[in-house]
């Protein structure tokens, strides 16, 4: 079963969810704006993505600009920021077993199916 960390207000996230369902995939949908990440669960997803925490941040979001832009943050501090402000998290994130991708562009999702 695939897991999609989804923000229903995001068109790319909705499009990814629709694509997976259209492909007949069994999908567990987690609205991470309501089912919030913990620091540990977000770190686990980052580990699957094989990226630095800062690479998961949406730097154009107002919360980033207001509170963090221009500051040097440790990986732990970046994770804490995303947990506190989940809107900062890139989306959608699709997990398939021990593989994960940020589904932008959607074609990246095909690489883990």
Task: Enumerate the active-site residues.
Answer: 10
Strand ranges of the sheet holding 93-96, from the earlier edge strand across to the other edge: 27-31, 2-6, 93-96, 99-102
The whole-angstrom separation of Cα 96 and Cα 80 is 25
């Amino acid at each position: 079963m695939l897991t999609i960390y989804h923000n229903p207000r995001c068109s790319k996230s909705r499009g990814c969810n629709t694509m997976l369902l259209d492909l007949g995939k069994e999908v567990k949908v987690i609205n991470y704006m309501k089912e919030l990440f913990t620091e540990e669960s977000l770190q686990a997803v980052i580990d699957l993505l094989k990226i630095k925490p800062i690479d998961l941040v949406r730097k154009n979001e107002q919360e980033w600009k207001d509170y963090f832009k221009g500051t040097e943050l440790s990986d732990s501090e970046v994770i804490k920021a995303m947990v506190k402000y989940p809107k900062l998290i890139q989306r959608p994130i699709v997990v398939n077993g021990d593989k994960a991708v940020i589904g932008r562009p959607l074609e990246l999702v095909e690489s883990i199916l």
